[in-house]
Chain A
Amino acid sequence: MAQRRELIKGSIDSLLLCLIERQPMYGYWIIKELDRRSQGYFKFKEGTLYPALHRLEEAGLIRGEWQTLPSGRQRRYYHITGKGLSRLATERSQWQDFLVAMNLIIQPASERREVKKW
């Protein structure tokens, strides 16, 4: 569990930028969407989400804007900025390299032999 927490901690910014890139979202929606898309793997607490959102906003990677819903309620939607898009592109490419390298090392020895034979 602690390992999973550490893994998530290191990837919060990438996860949030990825989600917000698809469409502007607000905090509660982001928590639910991450949970749904990861099939329950990424369960963010508010104490993790909001500091991360505010940190990204201070860094100019996202921009928060208040919008009034048809119900009259207000929500703070986060939009990705140009700087956020370029950071996301860099992080995506780093993640791809990392995943390829990890797969080469982490897969069981039997599978590696099969790959070699093939």
Chain B
Amino acid sequence: MVTALSHYLDSVRENLRLDHSVESEVIHELETHIEDELQELREAGLSEEEAANTCLTLLGSAKLLARQIYEAHSQGSWTQALLAAMPHMLFGLLFVVSWWRGIGWLLGMLVLVLSMAVYGWWRGKPAWLFPWLGYSLLPVVAAGLLLLYLPQGWSWVAIVIYLPLALWLVYSITVKTIKKDWLYTSLMLLPVPAIIGWFVAVEPVNQLPEHWLQSIEDFAPWIGLTFLALGLTVATFIRLRKRWLRVSVLVVSGLITLIMVAYYTEGRLSLPALLILVVVMLLLLLSPALVERTLRHTGQHSA
């Protein structure tokens, strides 16, 4: 096929952001369409180059075509929306009904989250997987942080062995997710700003862990409510077709959850701290787009 048309198809593929099998079908269908179009134009007496240029004009913008085809496929079913919302709902319920202090419930949740993440990854990474994936990485990060509190002399275990392994795991999963679609990385990271917000707001300075647990107990219903709100956000995200609406829903829900943290903790989160958290939230949710662009440029240069 003429180079300009190959570039056109590459550009469509790059902007489709659909499952690999659907992407291949769409591109193959457009290829067959272009073959027919070129053949007819050549038979009408046009040169190869003229035929290719006319064909490109008829096809229109590659980005627009890719976006419209993406919107035709992007809407998930209600079942997928429910599956995607479930980890947030369960996490929220842990706090709302005070299950978070029961080790059995926590272990059950951990097993469920890991099983769903492995199952979804194995089933071709559908959109509902990513919230589960986000929660499945939390214990990895939390365990690393806890290792730092080991008695002196033992923290080298965390620094030398655990942290590099954990960072490598988080990094490779994040990069793979960004390569599929950066929005899924944002979906995966969605609870992080709320978790940091609650951590900052609830953590009492210079107090014993028991006091900290009591603080969590006091705010548990509100912590739960925040995560239930995230569940609703994710369900809405899955049902939306347009990318700009999906991005907006994530950012707005990030803002709302942080405002909820500030409101319910009644001044424990100062205004500067809230503003810093908003910036962190925006960075977390939107920076995957920049990383995706960098990865693509790197890929194009190395190809």
Instruction: Please judge, given known A-B contacts A54-B72, A54-B73, whether A75 and B26 are in contact too, CB under 8 Å.
Output: no
Q: A46 to B60, Cβ gap below 8 A?
A: yes
Residue of A26, A52, A55 contacting most chain B CB atoms (<10 Å): A55
Q: B65 to A51, Cβ gap below 8 A?
A: yes
Q: Does chain A have a CB within 8 A of B28?
A: yes
Q: Which of A26, A51, A64 touches B68 (beta carbons < 8 Å)?
A: A51
User: For B112, what are the chain A residues with a Cβ–Cβ distance below 8 Å?
Assistant: none
- A59 closest partner in B (C-beta): B72
Task: Beyond the given A50-B65, A55-B71, please list 12 additional residue pairs across the A-B interface where CB-CB is below 8 A.
Answer: A28-B37, A46-B33, A46-B65, A47-B61, A50-B68, A50-B69, A51-B69, A51-B71, A54-B72, A55-B72, A57-B72, A75-B32
Q: B29 to A27, Cβ gap below 8 A?
A: yes
Q: Interface size bucket, B side?
A: 20 to 34
Q: Does chain A have a CB within 8 A of B30?
A: yes
User: For A63, what are the chain B residues with a Cβ–Cβ distance below 8 Å?
Assistant: none
Interface of B with A (CB < 8 Å)? 25-26, 28-30, 32-33, 35-37, 58-61, 64-65, 68-69, 71-73, 75
Q: Does chain B have a CB within 8 A of A45?
A: yes
Q: Does chain B have a CB within 8 A of A58?
A: yes
User: For B36, what are the chain A residues with a Cβ–Cβ distance below 8 Å?
Assistant: 28
- B67 closest partner in A (C-beta): A51
Interface of A with B (CB < 8 Å)? 26-28, 45-47, 50-52, 54-55, 57-58, 64, 73-76
What is the predominant secondary structure among interface residues of chain B facing chain A? Answer: helix
Q: B32 to A73, Cβ gap below 8 A?
A: yes
User: For A58, what are the chain B residues with a Cβ–Cβ distance below 8 Å?
Assistant: 72-73, 75
Q: B72 to A45, Cβ gap below 8 A?
A: no
In the bound assembly, the distance between CA atoms of A82 and B32 in angstroms comes to 27
In the bound assembly, the distance between CA atoms of A50 and B28 in angstroms comes to 12
User: For A57, what are the chain B residues with a Cβ–Cβ distance below 8 Å?
Assistant: 72
Closest Cβ–Cβ distance, residue A78 to chain B (whole Å): 10
- B75 closest partner in A (C-beta): A58
Q: B65 to A47, Cβ gap below 8 A?
A: yes
In the bound assembly, the distance between CA atoms of A118 and B26 in angstroms comes to 57
Q: A54 to B69, Cβ gap below 8 A?
A: yes
- A52 closest partner in B (C-beta): B72
In the bound assembly, the distance between CA atoms of A43 and B20 in angstroms comes to 31
Q: Which of A46, A64, A74 touches B30 (beta carbons < 8 Å)?
A: A46
Q: What would be 11 A-B contacts, judged by CB atoms less than 8 Å apart?
A: A27-B32, A28-B32, A28-B37, A46-B59, A47-B61, A47-B65, A50-B30, A51-B72, A54-B69, A57-B72, A73-B32
Residue of A47, A58, A73 contacting most chain B CB atoms (<10 Å): A47
Q: B32 to A47, Cβ gap below 8 A?
A: no
Closest Cβ–Cβ distance, residue B30 to chain A (whole Å): 7
Q: B75 to A46, Cβ gap below 8 A?
A: no
User: For B35, what are the chain A residues with a Cβ–Cβ distance below 8 Å?
Assistant: 73
Instruction: Please judge, given known A-B contacts A58-B72, A58-B75, whether A46 and B32 are in contact too, CB under 8 Å.
Output: no
Q: A47 to B71, Cβ gap below 8 A?
A: no
In the bound assembly, the distance between CA atoms of A74 and B61 in angstroms comes to 25
Closest Cβ–Cβ distance, residue B240 to chain A (whole Å): 14
